[in-house]
Amino acid sequence: MNNPQQPQNMPPQLQVELPKEDWDGKYSNFVLITHSPSEFVLDFGRVMPGVPKIKVESRIIMTPQHAKMLLRTLEENIGKFEARFGPIKIPGEEEGKRIGFVPQFNPQGPPPPPGHPEPGE
């Protein structure tokens, strides 16, 4: 049934529910992205100075189509942010240094979920 208050060419409004325990969110300054033919796996975590281990705080799994839509949405929102606040500067980028989110290749596919052993272990 159509909503008479909503234009016909607009998608329906969704109500997003954020549980109270998640209001604070999770901070991440690290993401490991792996993929297979059918899914993208994004493991978000925190890198702490002087600590060689990274704790994955959140794992997001999505289809390649949703990953591409996420990319487009991020590009659009970064454009809006920079139009309002100015360019986002990446430390070391102008000097040709690579710091932060460094692309890596994993030919084995996504890592197993935390607490599950690697194959062959």
pLDDT, tens only, 16-66:
888 888 888 889 999 999 999 999 999 999 988 888 899 899 999 999 999
Give strand ranges (E) for 11-117.
30-35, 40-46, 55-62
Residue whose tokens read 């454009």: 79
Q: What is the pTM of this model?
A: 0.66
Structure tokens, 23: 């209001």
Reduce the DSSP state of residue 71 to 3 states and report it: helix
